[in-house]
Amino acid sequence: MENSVKSSSGYSLARTFLYAFAQSSPIIFSYLVVGFAFGIMMQEAGYTPLHVLLSGLFIYSGSLQIAMVPLIVAHTPLIVMVFAAFIINSRYMFYGIGYTERFKRQGILYPYMIFAFPDEVYCVFSANSYPHYVDPVKCDLWTAIMCHMSWVSGGLLGVFLGDVISFDMSGIDFAATGLFVCICVNQWREFKSHIPMYIGLVSAFICLFIFGADNFMLPALSLSLVILVVLKERTKRAMDRGTETDKNPEEVILHE
Amino acid sequence: MNDQIYAFAVIGICAVVTIMIRALPFLVFGSKKLPDTVDYLGKVLPGAIMIVLVVYCLRGISLTSAPYGAPELISVFLCAILQLILKNSIPSIAVSTAVYMMLIRTVF
């Protein structure tokens, strides 16, 4: 982040754009595909391109939008929708942690950065450290905009072309899972300590076992956060030193 | 309520709830100097969250009945291997997604 204090003259606009595009490209691909699936679902349920456009622009959350379609079809009461939306998306409340300073540098677009922050964008932002020639403020913004627009475009393509394309698309949403797996692999390579990953894995399985598939997300993230705070000194030392202390994950839990 | 209008209302509710959840950490930590622990969490939390997200994507599979989540697990494994070798997410995602779509149609 030292880049931010440098004067903007040291940056190349063209290379910043190319860098933003390159780091967004797996997301753009997966958003076009999953957005397309959402567009088809809405079209088949009898809703208009305007519904799809507004969802993509203002909800911008794949998991909620796809879960929302059968709930709309079933005419779920609006008050129930408030709770459903909260439960499905509660994980987002963890994403902003550590991003206030970075997003504030966007000035007037600070609120946009807070809004345009779904799982996949969180992935790239958490993984990168920009090269010296890249303007980090512009790169963040362009990445956010490109991803958002590809999500909206995917939905619109789906709702307009859903009729034309007749082959069975089921399973295409695996693209989102694939993206998360790729980011996990990248982080595994880049993180100096793997303690945070072990904590995430163990928390996920414990909460999956206790709370079940539909409700484990919020407890799992909370548990990860608590363990990370409890093991702060230890993890921090490992992250700084870069020497992996291969602690058994079960042991970590016992200590907690 | 008219079906189309009702759908707009649901979209509006989902949008408002989602933006409120996204804004929450910024409202809590935005105005003051970051406490040391929050700064630390910003660095390590992504490592934990990403694994939880993968588990979240796979939460629907059943390990007790056929096909025991095999198409998902094979595709995830393939994707991880490809990413380790190629270090480029687009072919890793494209190939594993194609394999997944093939597996659920033919083998399982």
**Residue A248 pLDDT greater than 80, yes or no:** no
Q: Nearest CB to B22: which of A25, A78, A115?
A: A115
CA distances A52 to A30, A44, A157, A166, Å, are 17, 12, 10, 20
What's the confidence (pLDDT) of residue A11?
87
Q: Are A97 and B51 a contacting pair at CB < 8 A?
A: no
What's the confidence (pLDDT) of residue A242?
56
Q: Nearest CB to A96: which of B4, B25, B79?
A: B25
Identify which of A101, A144, A127, A113 has the alpha carbon closest to the alpha carbon of residue A196.
A127
Q: Where are the domains of chain B?
A: 1-32, 35-108
Q: Are A90 and B21 a contacting pair at CB < 8 A?
A: yes
Distance CA B6, CA B1 (A): 6
* Mean pLDDT across B48-67: 85
Interface A–B counts its CB contacts (< 8 A) at: 260
Which residues of chain B neighbour A168 with C-beta distances below 8 Å? 105
What's the confidence (pLDDT) of residue A7?
47
**Residue A256 pLDDT greater than 80, yes or no:** no
Q: Nearest CB to A174: which of B6, B14, B100?
A: B100
What's the confidence (pLDDT) of residue A5?
45
What's the confidence (pLDDT) of residue A10?
80
pLDDT tens digits, residue range A174-208?
A: 888 888 898 899 888 888 889 999 999 999 999 99
DSSP string, A67-126: HHHHHHHTT--HHHHHHHHHHHHTTHHHHTTT-HHHHHTTGGGHHHHHHS--HHHHHHHH
The token duo for A101 is: 């300073």
Q: Are A54 and B72 a contacting pair at CB < 8 A?
A: no
Provide the 3-class DSSP secondary structure of residue A59: coil
Q: Nearest CB to A93: which of B3, B25, B53?
A: B25
* Mean pLDDT across A146-166: 90
Q: Where are the domains of chain A?
A: 2-190, 192-256
**Residue A255 pLDDT greater than 90, yes or no:** no
CA distances A181 to A48, A123, A153, B22, B58, Å, are 33, 11, 24, 23, 11
pLDDT tens digits, residue range A18-29?
A: 999 998 988 898
User: B108 touching A, CB under 8 A?
Assistant: no
More confident: A106 or A251: A106
Q: Which of A2-6, A94-98, B37-41 has the lowest mean pLDDT?
A: A2-6
Ranked by mean pLDDT, the top range of A189-193, B14-18, B48-52 is B14-18
User: A244 touching B, CB under 8 A?
Assistant: no
Q: Are A59 and B24 a contacting pair at CB < 8 A?
A: no
Residues 46 through 65 of chain B touching chain A, CB cutoff 8 Å: 46-60
What's the confidence (pLDDT) of residue A116?
96
pLDDT tens digits, residue range A34-48?
A: 899 899 889 989 999
Distance CA A126, CA A123 (A): 5
Residues in Cβ contact with A137 at an 8 Å cutoff, skipping those fewer than 6 apart: A4, A105, A106
User: B98 touching A, CB under 8 A?
Assistant: no
Q: Are B56 and A217 a contacting pair at CB < 8 A?
A: yes
Q: Which of A138-142, A241-245, B25-29 has the lowest mean pLDDT?
A: A241-245
Q: Are A98 and B9 a contacting pair at CB < 8 A?
A: no
What's the confidence (pLDDT) of residue A105?
93
**Residue A1 pLDDT greater than 60, yes or no:** no
Q: Are A232 and B76 a contacting pair at CB < 8 A?
A: no
Shortest CA gap A230–chain B (Å) = 10
- Chosen for mutation from A36, A109, A177, A215 (greatest number of chain B CBs closer than 10 Å) is A177
Residue reference for tokens 């088809």? A40
What's the confidence (pLDDT) of residue A108?
95
Residues 148 through 207 of chain A touching chain B, CB cutoff 8 Å: 168, 170-172, 174-187, 191, 194-197, 199-201, 203-205
pLDDT band at A243 (very low <50, low <70, confident <90, very high): very low
Identify which of B88, B67, B68, B93 has the alpha carbon closest to the alpha carbon of residue B78.
B93
pLDDT tens digits, residue range A63-73?
A: 899 889 999 99
Q: Are B104 and A72 a contacting pair at CB < 8 A?
A: no
**Residue A32 CB-density burial (10 A; 0-12 exposed, 13-18 middle, 19+ buried):** middle
**What's the whole-number average pLDDT of chain A?**
86
Residues in chain A: 256
Give the gyration radius of chain B's Cα atoms.
20
Nearest CA in chain A to B53: A180
Q: Are B30 and A100 a contacting pair at CB < 8 A?
A: yes
What's the confidence (pLDDT) of residue A29?
85
